[in-house]
Amino acid sequence: MNVKNRKMIAAIALTFAAGILMSRADTHYVSLQGTNDVANGYITWAGAATQIQWAVDAAQATTDGDTVLVSNGTYNLTNQINILSNITVQSVNGTNFTFVNGNYPDYTNRCVYMSAGTLDGFTVSNGFLTNYTDGGVNGGAGIVIRVGGVTVKNCYIYKNYITNACGGGIYVRSATGVIISNCAIVGNTCTLKYYGGGIDLYAATAGSLLIDSYISGNTGGYGGGVANRNGTSLITNCTIAGNTATETGGGVRLENCGGVGGVFTNFGYVALANCVISNNSGSSGGPGGVYCYGSTLINCTIIGNRATVVGGVSVSAGNWWGSLMSNCQVIANTASGNYCGGVALYGSAGFANVVANCIIANNVFSVGGYPAGIWLGRGGLVKNCLISCNTNTSSGGGVCLYIGSSEPLFTNFPYGLINCTIVNNQASSGAGIYAKGGTNYIENCIVVSNVTSAGAQVNIYNDTAANTNNYWLTCTPDVLPPNQGNITSDTLFVDRPNRNYRLSAGSPCINTGTNHAWITNSVDLDGRTRIRYVTVDMGAYEFIRSGTIFGFH
Protein backbone atom coordinates (compact mmCIF):
# COMPACT_ATOMS: atom_id res chain seq x y z
CA MET A 1 0.00 0.00 0.00
CA ASN A 2 1.49 3.37 -0.96
CA VAL A 3 1.88 6.33 1.36
CA LYS A 4 -1.03 8.19 -0.22
CA ASN A 5 -3.48 5.32 0.41
CA ARG A 6 -2.26 4.85 3.99
CA LYS A 7 -2.86 8.53 4.68
CA MET A 8 -6.36 8.32 3.19
CA ILE A 9 -7.28 5.28 5.31
CA ALA A 10 -5.90 6.98 8.43
CA ALA A 11 -7.95 10.09 7.69
CA ILE A 12 -11.13 8.02 7.25
CA ALA A 13 -10.42 6.20 10.52
CA LEU A 14 -9.90 9.45 12.40
CA THR A 15 -13.10 10.89 10.95
CA PHE A 16 -15.05 7.77 11.96
CA ALA A 17 -13.58 7.85 15.45
CA ALA A 18 -14.40 11.52 15.80
CA GLY A 19 -18.00 10.75 14.78
CA ILE A 20 -18.23 8.12 17.49
CA LEU A 21 -16.89 10.57 20.05
CA MET A 22 -19.28 13.28 18.89
CA SER A 23 -22.31 10.97 19.09
CA ARG A 24 -21.62 9.40 22.47
CA ALA A 25 -23.78 10.30 25.46
CA ASP A 26 -22.11 12.77 27.80
CA THR A 27 -22.77 13.68 31.43
CA HIS A 28 -23.21 17.33 32.35
CA TYR A 29 -22.93 18.32 35.99
CA VAL A 30 -24.84 20.76 38.19
CA SER A 31 -23.63 21.93 41.59
CA LEU A 32 -24.12 25.06 43.63
CA GLN A 33 -20.31 25.01 44.08
CA GLY A 34 -19.59 24.75 40.33
CA THR A 35 -17.55 27.25 38.28
CA ASN A 36 -19.90 27.35 35.25
CA ASP A 37 -17.53 26.01 32.61
CA VAL A 38 -19.88 26.76 29.74
CA ALA A 39 -17.14 26.38 27.09
CA ASN A 40 -16.75 22.68 27.84
CA GLY A 41 -20.41 21.98 28.52
CA TYR A 42 -20.15 21.51 32.30
CA ILE A 43 -18.68 18.01 31.88
CA THR A 44 -16.77 17.96 35.19
CA TRP A 45 -17.85 18.53 38.77
CA ALA A 46 -15.34 21.35 39.07
CA GLY A 47 -16.82 23.09 36.04
CA ALA A 48 -20.44 22.27 36.93
CA ALA A 49 -23.29 24.64 36.14
CA THR A 50 -24.89 26.34 39.09
CA GLN A 51 -28.31 26.34 37.39
CA ILE A 52 -30.04 23.21 36.13
CA GLN A 53 -31.29 24.83 32.91
CA TRP A 54 -27.74 25.71 31.78
CA ALA A 55 -26.64 22.09 31.94
CA VAL A 56 -29.90 20.97 30.31
CA ASP A 57 -29.26 23.37 27.43
CA ALA A 58 -25.75 21.96 26.99
CA ALA A 59 -27.11 18.40 26.95
CA GLN A 60 -29.81 19.29 24.42
CA ALA A 61 -27.35 21.09 22.13
CA THR A 62 -25.51 17.90 21.19
CA THR A 63 -27.53 14.71 20.85
CA ASP A 64 -30.15 12.61 22.57
CA GLY A 65 -29.13 10.39 25.45
CA ASP A 66 -27.06 12.80 27.55
CA THR A 67 -27.41 12.90 31.33
CA VAL A 68 -27.61 15.95 33.57
CA LEU A 69 -26.46 14.96 37.05
CA VAL A 70 -27.48 17.33 39.84
CA SER A 71 -25.80 17.55 43.23
CA ASN A 72 -27.43 18.36 46.57
CA GLY A 73 -29.01 21.73 47.20
CA THR A 74 -32.00 23.98 46.60
CA TYR A 75 -32.16 25.34 43.07
CA ASN A 76 -34.25 28.51 43.11
CA LEU A 77 -35.87 29.27 39.77
CA THR A 78 -36.54 32.52 37.98
CA ASN A 79 -38.21 30.66 35.10
CA GLN A 80 -39.33 27.12 34.37
CA ILE A 81 -36.83 24.39 33.48
CA ASN A 82 -37.44 23.25 29.86
CA ILE A 83 -36.61 19.62 29.05
CA LEU A 84 -37.28 19.23 25.33
CA SER A 85 -35.20 16.27 24.14
CA ASN A 86 -34.44 12.70 25.17
CA ILE A 87 -32.07 13.41 28.03
CA THR A 88 -32.06 12.30 31.67
CA VAL A 89 -32.05 14.91 34.43
CA GLN A 90 -31.20 13.08 37.64
CA SER A 91 -30.30 14.00 41.19
CA VAL A 92 -27.32 12.37 42.88
CA ASN A 93 -28.96 11.66 46.23
CA GLY A 94 -32.71 11.92 45.71
CA THR A 95 -35.63 13.99 46.94
CA ASN A 96 -34.38 14.56 50.49
CA PHE A 97 -31.34 16.41 49.22
CA THR A 98 -32.18 17.96 45.85
CA PHE A 99 -34.87 20.63 45.52
CA VAL A 100 -36.30 22.45 42.51
CA ASN A 101 -37.96 25.51 44.03
CA GLY A 102 -40.42 27.58 41.98
CA ASN A 103 -39.45 30.46 44.22
CA TYR A 104 -42.89 31.89 44.92
CA PRO A 105 -43.63 34.67 45.98
CA ASP A 106 -40.48 36.19 44.48
CA TYR A 107 -41.44 34.64 41.12
CA THR A 108 -44.63 33.18 39.65
CA ASN A 109 -43.75 30.36 37.30
CA ARG A 110 -44.12 26.61 37.00
CA CYS A 111 -41.15 24.50 37.90
CA VAL A 112 -40.63 22.13 34.95
CA TYR A 113 -41.87 21.87 31.33
CA MET A 114 -41.25 18.52 29.59
CA SER A 115 -41.91 17.38 26.03
CA ALA A 116 -39.34 14.53 26.18
CA GLY A 117 -36.78 12.98 28.50
CA THR A 118 -36.64 11.73 32.10
CA LEU A 119 -36.78 13.58 35.42
CA ASP A 120 -35.51 11.45 38.29
CA GLY A 121 -35.18 12.07 42.01
CA PHE A 122 -36.19 15.68 42.77
CA THR A 123 -38.45 17.51 45.17
CA VAL A 124 -40.41 19.88 42.92
CA SER A 125 -42.18 22.53 44.96
CA ASN A 126 -43.44 26.06 45.28
CA GLY A 127 -44.45 26.50 41.65
CA PHE A 128 -47.22 29.08 41.27
CA LEU A 129 -49.32 29.94 38.21
CA THR A 130 -52.34 32.13 37.74
CA ASN A 131 -54.23 32.55 34.46
CA TYR A 132 -51.09 31.24 32.78
CA THR A 133 -50.97 30.09 29.14
CA ASP A 134 -47.77 28.93 27.46
CA GLY A 135 -48.26 27.97 23.81
CA GLY A 136 -51.77 26.73 24.53
CA VAL A 137 -50.68 24.90 27.69
CA ASN A 138 -52.62 26.19 30.63
CA GLY A 139 -51.79 24.07 33.66
CA GLY A 140 -49.23 22.30 35.79
CA ALA A 141 -47.73 24.52 38.47
CA GLY A 142 -45.21 21.82 39.37
CA ILE A 143 -44.65 19.95 36.09
CA VAL A 144 -46.37 20.09 32.71
CA ILE A 145 -45.90 17.26 30.18
CA ARG A 146 -46.62 17.57 26.46
CA VAL A 147 -46.03 15.50 23.29
CA GLY A 148 -44.84 12.20 24.83
CA GLY A 149 -42.10 9.76 25.70
CA VAL A 150 -41.67 11.46 29.07
CA THR A 151 -40.77 9.72 32.35
CA VAL A 152 -41.03 11.29 35.80
CA LYS A 153 -39.87 8.96 38.56
CA ASN A 154 -38.79 8.97 42.19
CA CYS A 155 -39.95 12.58 42.60
CA TYR A 156 -41.74 14.44 45.38
CA ILE A 157 -44.20 16.96 43.93
CA TYR A 158 -45.06 19.19 46.84
CA LYS A 159 -47.12 22.32 47.49
CA ASN A 160 -47.50 23.72 44.00
CA TYR A 161 -50.46 26.02 43.38
CA ILE A 162 -52.42 27.03 40.29
CA THR A 163 -55.49 29.21 39.81
CA ASN A 164 -57.90 29.08 36.85
CA ALA A 165 -56.17 26.06 35.32
CA CYS A 166 -55.69 22.30 35.80
CA GLY A 167 -53.09 20.14 37.51
CA GLY A 168 -51.79 21.72 40.68
CA GLY A 169 -48.86 19.30 40.90
CA ILE A 170 -48.62 17.73 37.42
CA TYR A 171 -50.54 18.38 34.20
CA VAL A 172 -50.29 15.89 31.33
CA ARG A 173 -51.81 17.33 28.16
CA SER A 174 -52.39 15.32 24.96
CA ALA A 175 -49.20 13.29 25.44
CA THR A 176 -48.39 9.68 24.55
CA GLY A 177 -46.37 7.08 26.41
CA VAL A 178 -46.00 9.12 29.61
CA ILE A 179 -44.75 7.21 32.68
CA ILE A 180 -45.05 8.72 36.17
CA SER A 181 -43.76 6.21 38.70
CA ASN A 182 -42.76 5.95 42.35
CA CYS A 183 -43.67 9.57 43.01
CA ALA A 184 -45.30 11.32 45.97
CA ILE A 185 -47.72 14.04 44.89
CA VAL A 186 -48.61 15.89 48.07
CA GLY A 187 -50.27 19.14 49.13
CA ASN A 188 -50.85 20.65 45.68
CA THR A 189 -53.83 22.82 44.72
CA CYS A 190 -55.86 23.86 41.71
CA THR A 191 -58.70 26.26 42.39
CA LEU A 192 -62.28 26.73 41.26
CA LYS A 193 -63.87 24.29 38.79
CA TYR A 194 -60.62 22.86 37.44
CA TYR A 195 -59.28 19.31 37.28
CA GLY A 196 -56.66 17.47 39.29
CA GLY A 197 -55.44 19.09 42.47
CA GLY A 198 -52.56 16.61 42.54
CA ILE A 199 -52.38 15.53 38.90
CA ASP A 200 -54.54 15.92 35.80
CA LEU A 201 -54.13 13.35 33.01
CA TYR A 202 -55.89 14.92 30.03
CA ALA A 203 -56.07 13.02 26.71
CA ALA A 204 -52.99 10.99 27.65
CA THR A 205 -52.72 7.90 25.43
CA ALA A 206 -50.59 4.99 24.17
CA GLY A 207 -49.57 3.28 27.37
CA SER A 208 -49.42 6.32 29.64
CA LEU A 209 -49.18 5.27 33.30
CA LEU A 210 -49.39 6.73 36.78
CA ILE A 211 -47.97 3.85 38.80
CA ASP A 212 -46.65 2.98 42.26
CA SER A 213 -47.27 6.49 43.56
CA TYR A 214 -48.72 8.20 46.63
CA ILE A 215 -51.20 11.06 46.10
CA SER A 216 -52.25 12.81 49.29
CA GLY A 217 -53.42 16.11 50.76
CA ASN A 218 -54.20 17.74 47.41
CA THR A 219 -57.19 19.99 46.66
CA GLY A 220 -58.95 20.46 43.34
CA GLY A 221 -62.33 21.23 41.83
CA TYR A 222 -62.89 17.98 39.89
CA GLY A 223 -60.62 15.27 41.26
CA GLY A 224 -58.96 16.44 44.44
CA GLY A 225 -56.17 13.88 44.10
CA VAL A 226 -56.25 12.76 40.46
CA ALA A 227 -58.26 13.45 37.31
CA ASN A 228 -58.00 11.01 34.39
CA ARG A 229 -60.06 12.07 31.38
CA ASN A 230 -60.60 11.79 27.64
CA GLY A 231 -57.68 9.42 27.09
CA THR A 232 -56.44 5.88 27.63
CA SER A 233 -53.99 6.33 30.49
CA LEU A 234 -54.04 3.98 33.49
CA ILE A 235 -53.67 4.77 37.20
CA THR A 236 -52.46 1.62 38.96
CA ASN A 237 -50.87 0.45 42.21
CA CYS A 238 -51.31 3.86 43.83
CA THR A 239 -52.50 5.07 47.22
CA ILE A 240 -54.80 8.08 46.90
CA ALA A 241 -55.58 9.37 50.38
CA GLY A 242 -56.71 12.47 52.22
CA ASN A 243 -57.48 14.62 49.16
CA THR A 244 -60.37 17.10 48.81
CA ALA A 245 -62.61 18.07 45.90
CA THR A 246 -64.63 21.27 45.96
CA GLU A 247 -66.87 19.87 43.19
CA THR A 248 -66.71 16.07 42.50
CA GLY A 249 -64.32 13.21 43.14
CA GLY A 250 -62.43 13.83 46.36
CA GLY A 251 -59.92 11.11 45.54
CA VAL A 252 -60.28 10.47 41.81
CA ARG A 253 -62.32 11.73 38.87
CA LEU A 254 -62.51 9.41 35.85
CA GLU A 255 -64.16 10.94 32.82
CA ASN A 256 -64.72 9.41 29.35
CA CYS A 257 -61.60 7.27 29.55
CA GLY A 258 -61.29 5.45 26.25
CA GLY A 259 -61.06 8.05 23.53
CA VAL A 260 -63.34 8.33 20.51
CA GLY A 261 -62.39 5.68 17.95
CA GLY A 262 -60.01 3.89 20.31
CA VAL A 263 -59.84 0.15 20.95
CA PHE A 264 -61.97 -0.43 24.00
CA THR A 265 -64.48 -2.77 25.58
CA ASN A 266 -68.14 -1.87 25.93
CA PHE A 267 -67.12 0.13 28.99
CA GLY A 268 -63.95 1.79 27.70
CA TYR A 269 -60.38 1.27 28.82
CA VAL A 270 -59.50 0.40 32.40
CA ALA A 271 -58.68 3.79 33.89
CA LEU A 272 -58.07 2.89 37.55
CA ALA A 273 -56.82 -0.44 38.91
CA ASN A 274 -55.24 -1.98 42.01
CA CYS A 275 -55.41 1.24 44.03
CA VAL A 276 -56.43 2.20 47.56
CA ILE A 277 -58.62 5.31 47.69
CA SER A 278 -59.08 6.30 51.31
CA ASN A 279 -60.15 9.15 53.58
CA ASN A 280 -60.83 11.62 50.79
CA SER A 281 -63.52 14.31 50.98
CA GLY A 282 -66.15 15.41 48.50
CA SER A 283 -68.72 18.16 48.65
CA SER A 284 -72.37 18.70 47.79
CA GLY A 285 -71.44 17.48 44.30
CA GLY A 286 -69.82 14.30 45.68
CA PRO A 287 -68.52 11.68 45.71
CA GLY A 288 -65.83 11.51 48.36
CA GLY A 289 -63.90 8.60 46.84
CA VAL A 290 -64.22 8.08 43.06
CA TYR A 291 -66.31 9.76 40.38
CA CYS A 292 -66.51 7.25 37.51
CA TYR A 293 -68.10 8.74 34.40
CA GLY A 294 -67.95 6.64 31.24
CA SER A 295 -64.92 4.72 32.56
CA THR A 296 -63.78 1.46 34.17
CA LEU A 297 -62.20 0.77 37.55
CA ILE A 298 -61.17 -2.66 38.84
CA ASN A 299 -59.53 -4.28 41.88
CA CYS A 300 -59.64 -1.17 44.06
CA THR A 301 -60.34 -0.59 47.75
CA ILE A 302 -62.43 2.53 48.37
CA ILE A 303 -62.52 3.03 52.12
CA GLY A 304 -63.33 5.72 54.66
CA ASN A 305 -64.25 8.48 52.21
CA ARG A 306 -66.97 11.04 52.90
CA ALA A 307 -69.11 13.62 51.12
CA THR A 308 -72.47 15.32 51.34
CA VAL A 309 -73.53 13.41 48.22
CA VAL A 310 -72.22 9.82 47.74
CA GLY A 311 -69.53 8.87 50.21
CA GLY A 312 -67.73 6.20 48.18
CA VAL A 313 -68.19 5.90 44.41
CA SER A 314 -70.55 7.23 41.75
CA VAL A 315 -70.77 5.05 38.62
CA SER A 316 -72.51 6.71 35.68
CA ALA A 317 -72.67 6.70 31.89
CA GLY A 318 -70.40 9.07 30.01
CA ASN A 319 -70.62 10.69 26.60
CA TRP A 320 -69.92 7.53 24.57
CA TRP A 321 -70.36 4.47 26.80
CA GLY A 322 -71.30 3.27 30.26
CA SER A 323 -69.17 2.63 33.32
CA LEU A 324 -67.96 -0.58 34.98
CA MET A 325 -66.77 -1.15 38.55
CA SER A 326 -65.51 -4.69 39.11
CA ASN A 327 -63.79 -6.62 41.90
CA CYS A 328 -63.70 -3.65 44.26
CA GLN A 329 -64.28 -3.24 47.97
CA VAL A 330 -66.32 -0.19 48.98
CA ILE A 331 -66.11 -0.03 52.75
CA ALA A 332 -66.95 2.41 55.58
CA ASN A 333 -67.73 5.44 53.44
CA THR A 334 -70.18 8.11 54.64
CA ALA A 335 -72.68 10.47 53.01
CA SER A 336 -74.67 13.05 54.92
CA GLY A 337 -77.03 14.60 52.39
CA ASN A 338 -78.04 12.66 49.26
CA TYR A 339 -77.96 9.40 47.28
CA CYS A 340 -75.90 6.95 49.36
CA GLY A 341 -73.01 6.14 51.61
CA GLY A 342 -71.35 3.53 49.39
CA VAL A 343 -72.12 3.43 45.65
CA ALA A 344 -74.48 5.40 43.38
CA LEU A 345 -75.13 3.68 40.05
CA TYR A 346 -76.93 5.82 37.50
CA GLY A 347 -76.57 7.18 33.97
CA SER A 348 -78.26 8.37 30.81
CA ALA A 349 -80.56 6.49 28.43
CA GLY A 350 -78.84 4.10 26.05
CA PHE A 351 -75.75 3.29 28.15
CA ALA A 352 -75.66 0.44 30.65
CA ASN A 353 -73.65 0.68 33.88
CA VAL A 354 -72.42 -2.34 35.82
CA VAL A 355 -71.15 -3.03 39.35
CA ALA A 356 -69.85 -6.60 39.47
CA ASN A 357 -68.09 -8.87 41.97
CA CYS A 358 -67.83 -6.16 44.61
CA ILE A 359 -68.09 -6.04 48.39
CA ILE A 360 -70.12 -3.05 49.58
CA ALA A 361 -70.01 -3.06 53.36
CA ASN A 362 -70.15 -0.93 56.50
CA ASN A 363 -71.10 2.26 54.67
CA VAL A 364 -73.23 4.88 56.42
CA PHE A 365 -75.90 7.30 55.28
CA SER A 366 -76.54 9.65 58.15
CA VAL A 367 -79.63 11.61 57.07
CA GLY A 368 -82.14 9.12 55.68
CA GLY A 369 -84.32 8.56 52.65
CA TYR A 370 -81.52 7.04 50.56
CA PRO A 371 -79.51 3.84 50.98
CA ALA A 372 -76.37 3.36 52.99
CA GLY A 373 -75.04 0.66 50.62
CA ILE A 374 -75.92 1.22 46.96
CA TRP A 375 -78.37 3.30 44.94
CA LEU A 376 -79.39 1.61 41.69
CA GLY A 377 -81.25 3.71 39.16
CA ARG A 378 -81.58 4.39 35.45
CA GLY A 379 -81.14 0.89 34.17
CA GLY A 380 -77.88 -0.45 35.64
CA LEU A 381 -76.87 -3.93 36.75
CA VAL A 382 -75.47 -5.06 40.10
CA LYS A 383 -74.30 -8.69 39.98
CA ASN A 384 -72.32 -11.11 42.15
CA CYS A 385 -72.03 -8.54 44.93
CA LEU A 386 -72.09 -8.81 48.71
CA ILE A 387 -73.96 -5.87 50.25
CA SER A 388 -73.69 -6.14 54.02
CA CYS A 389 -73.56 -4.27 57.32
CA ASN A 390 -74.49 -0.88 55.86
CA THR A 391 -76.38 1.49 58.16
CA ASN A 392 -79.00 4.15 57.54
CA THR A 393 -80.80 6.16 60.22
CA SER A 394 -83.95 6.13 58.07
CA SER A 395 -85.08 3.95 55.14
CA GLY A 396 -82.85 1.89 52.84
CA GLY A 397 -79.97 0.06 54.48
CA GLY A 398 -78.48 -2.13 51.76
CA VAL A 399 -80.00 -1.14 48.41
CA CYS A 400 -82.36 1.47 47.02
CA LEU A 401 -83.79 0.37 43.66
CA TYR A 402 -85.38 3.08 41.57
CA ILE A 403 -85.72 2.09 37.93
CA GLY A 404 -88.81 4.02 36.92
CA SER A 405 -91.18 3.14 34.10
CA SER A 406 -89.65 5.83 31.87
CA GLU A 407 -86.11 4.53 32.30
CA PRO A 408 -84.34 2.33 29.70
CA LEU A 409 -84.72 -1.39 30.31
CA PHE A 410 -81.90 -2.53 27.98
CA THR A 411 -83.75 -5.43 26.38
CA ASN A 412 -80.43 -6.86 25.12
CA PHE A 413 -78.68 -6.37 28.47
CA PRO A 414 -79.60 -7.54 31.99
CA TYR A 415 -80.46 -4.92 34.58
CA GLY A 416 -81.37 -4.76 38.26
CA LEU A 417 -79.96 -6.99 41.04
CA ILE A 418 -78.77 -10.46 40.04
CA ASN A 419 -76.97 -13.02 42.24
CA CYS A 420 -76.38 -10.64 45.13
CA THR A 421 -76.25 -11.41 48.85
CA ILE A 422 -77.85 -8.61 50.88
CA VAL A 423 -77.45 -9.30 54.58
CA ASN A 424 -77.04 -7.67 58.01
CA ASN A 425 -77.88 -4.14 56.83
CA GLN A 426 -79.76 -1.77 59.12
CA ALA A 427 -82.48 0.84 58.52
CA SER A 428 -85.92 1.74 59.85
CA SER A 429 -87.62 0.31 56.73
CA GLY A 430 -86.34 -1.59 53.73
CA ALA A 431 -83.15 -2.46 55.58
CA GLY A 432 -82.22 -4.91 52.84
CA ILE A 433 -83.94 -3.47 49.74
CA TYR A 434 -85.98 -0.29 49.42
CA ALA A 435 -87.77 -0.61 46.05
CA LYS A 436 -89.30 2.38 44.28
CA GLY A 437 -90.75 2.63 40.79
CA GLY A 438 -92.39 -0.10 38.75
CA THR A 439 -89.73 -1.78 36.59
CA ASN A 440 -87.17 -3.08 39.06
CA TYR A 441 -85.79 -6.58 38.55
CA ILE A 442 -84.34 -8.78 41.32
CA GLU A 443 -83.24 -12.35 40.59
CA ASN A 444 -81.12 -15.12 42.17
CA CYS A 445 -80.61 -12.98 45.27
CA ILE A 446 -80.48 -13.63 49.01
CA VAL A 447 -82.04 -10.89 51.17
CA VAL A 448 -81.98 -11.92 54.83
CA SER A 449 -81.17 -10.77 58.38
CA ASN A 450 -81.57 -7.06 57.63
CA VAL A 451 -82.90 -5.28 60.71
CA THR A 452 -84.01 -2.09 62.43
CA SER A 453 -81.93 -0.56 65.19
CA ALA A 454 -84.15 -2.52 67.59
CA GLY A 455 -83.30 -5.80 65.86
CA ALA A 456 -86.60 -6.45 64.05
CA GLN A 457 -86.25 -7.88 60.52
CA VAL A 458 -87.28 -5.45 57.73
CA ASN A 459 -85.68 -7.04 54.69
CA ILE A 460 -87.71 -5.55 51.83
CA TYR A 461 -89.87 -2.48 51.37
CA ASN A 462 -91.89 -2.06 48.15
CA ASP A 463 -93.48 1.32 47.63
CA THR A 464 -96.22 -0.21 45.42
CA ALA A 465 -97.93 -3.59 45.43
CA ALA A 466 -96.79 -4.08 41.83
CA ASN A 467 -93.17 -4.08 43.00
CA THR A 468 -93.65 -7.40 44.75
CA ASN A 469 -93.88 -9.01 41.30
CA ASN A 470 -90.31 -7.95 40.45
CA TYR A 471 -88.61 -10.68 42.52
CA TRP A 472 -87.55 -13.98 40.93
CA LEU A 473 -85.83 -16.97 42.54
CA THR A 474 -84.95 -14.93 45.61
CA CYS A 475 -84.49 -16.17 49.17
CA THR A 476 -86.01 -13.91 51.86
CA PRO A 477 -88.33 -14.41 54.83
CA ASP A 478 -90.55 -11.66 53.38
CA VAL A 479 -93.63 -12.81 51.49
CA LEU A 480 -93.12 -12.69 47.71
CA PRO A 481 -95.02 -14.37 44.85
CA PRO A 482 -94.29 -18.13 45.25
CA ASN A 483 -94.94 -18.91 41.59
CA GLN A 484 -91.77 -16.98 40.69
CA GLY A 485 -89.46 -19.40 42.47
CA ASN A 486 -88.98 -17.32 45.62
CA ILE A 487 -88.33 -19.15 48.90
CA THR A 488 -88.48 -18.27 52.59
CA SER A 489 -86.25 -21.05 53.98
CA ASP A 490 -83.18 -20.51 56.16
CA THR A 491 -80.22 -19.86 53.85
CA LEU A 492 -77.82 -21.92 56.00
CA PHE A 493 -74.82 -19.62 55.65
CA VAL A 494 -71.49 -21.09 56.77
CA ASP A 495 -71.19 -18.59 59.65
CA ARG A 496 -73.40 -15.49 59.49
CA PRO A 497 -72.39 -14.05 62.92
CA ASN A 498 -68.79 -13.97 61.74
CA ARG A 499 -69.78 -12.65 58.30
CA ASN A 500 -69.06 -15.77 56.29
CA TYR A 501 -72.00 -15.64 53.88
CA ARG A 502 -71.00 -18.61 51.73
CA LEU A 503 -73.50 -21.46 51.49
CA SER A 504 -73.13 -24.58 53.61
CA ALA A 505 -74.13 -28.06 52.46
CA GLY A 506 -77.89 -28.46 52.49
CA SER A 507 -78.64 -24.77 51.83
CA PRO A 508 -81.90 -24.36 49.90
CA CYS A 509 -80.15 -21.70 47.80
CA ILE A 510 -77.94 -24.27 46.04
CA ASN A 511 -78.90 -25.04 42.42
CA THR A 512 -82.06 -22.93 42.63
CA GLY A 513 -81.24 -19.88 40.54
CA THR A 514 -81.82 -19.17 36.84
CA ASN A 515 -79.11 -19.84 34.26
CA HIS A 516 -78.63 -16.92 31.90
CA ALA A 517 -76.26 -17.09 28.95
CA TRP A 518 -74.06 -14.37 30.42
CA ILE A 519 -73.67 -16.32 33.69
CA THR A 520 -72.13 -19.32 31.90
CA ASN A 521 -68.35 -19.24 32.42
CA SER A 522 -68.65 -16.19 34.68
CA VAL A 523 -67.30 -16.31 38.25
CA ASP A 524 -68.69 -15.74 41.72
CA LEU A 525 -67.41 -13.31 44.34
CA ASP A 526 -64.58 -15.69 45.23
CA GLY A 527 -63.52 -15.86 41.58
CA ARG A 528 -64.78 -19.42 41.19
CA THR A 529 -66.61 -20.66 38.12
CA ARG A 530 -70.39 -20.27 38.21
CA ILE A 531 -72.93 -23.02 37.35
CA ARG A 532 -70.75 -25.73 38.83
CA TYR A 533 -73.55 -28.25 39.38
CA VAL A 534 -75.95 -27.74 36.45
CA THR A 535 -77.84 -24.76 37.93
CA VAL A 536 -76.51 -21.50 39.33
CA ASP A 537 -76.89 -20.89 43.08
CA MET A 538 -78.66 -17.93 44.66
CA GLY A 539 -76.48 -15.18 46.08
CA ALA A 540 -72.94 -13.98 45.47
CA TYR A 541 -71.13 -17.24 46.25
CA GLU A 542 -71.32 -20.56 44.39
CA PHE A 543 -71.33 -23.61 46.66
CA ILE A 544 -68.33 -25.96 46.36
CA ARG A 545 -68.68 -29.50 47.66
CA SER A 546 -66.09 -30.63 50.19
CA GLY A 547 -63.08 -32.19 48.47
CA THR A 548 -63.69 -30.45 45.14
CA ILE A 549 -60.56 -29.35 43.29
CA PHE A 550 -61.19 -26.09 41.48
CA GLY A 551 -59.29 -23.29 39.75
CA PHE A 552 -59.66 -19.55 40.02
CA HIS A 553 -60.26 -17.44 36.93
144-180: pLDDT as tens digits = 999 889 999 999 999 999 998 999 999 999 899 999 9
The percent of residues above 90 in pLDDT, for the chain, comes to 67
Residue 105: phi, psi to the nearest 5? -95, 0
269-320: pLDDT as tens digits = 789 999 999 999 998 788 999 999 989 999 999 999 999 999 999 998 888 7
Evaluate the CA torsion angle 472, 478, 483, 489 in order and state its sign: positive
195-254: pLDDT as tens digits = 999 999 998 887 899 999 999 999 999 999 999 998 889 999 999 999 999 999 999 999
Tell me the C-alpha distance between 195 and 197, whole Å: 6
Q: Cis before residue 287, ω within 30 degrees of 0?
A: yes
pLDDT number for residue 404 = 61
pLDDT number for residue 36 = 98
Q: What pTM was estimated for this model as a whole?
A: 0.91
388-419: pLDDT as tens digits = 999 998 888 999 988 765 555 555 566 789 99
Q: How confident is the model at residue 425 (pLDDT cuts 50, 70, 90)?
A: very high
Tell me the C-alpha distance between 93 and 98, whole Å: 7
Residue ranges with strand state E in 264-398: 270-273, 276-278, 290-293, 296-298, 301-303, 306-309, 313-316, 324-326, 329-331, 334-338, 343-345, 354-356, 359-361, 364-365, 374-377, 381-383, 386-388, 391-392
Q: What share of the chain is helix, strand, coil (3-state, %, to 5)?
A: 10, 40, 55
Q: Cis before residue 482, ω within 30 degrees of 0?
A: no
Work out the average pLDDT over 66-74: 98
Tell me the C-alpha distance between 394 and 370, whole Å: 8
Indicate whether 134 pLDDT > 70.
Answer: no
b/e code 455-475 from CB counts within 10 Å (16+ = b): eeebbbbbeeeebbebbbbbb
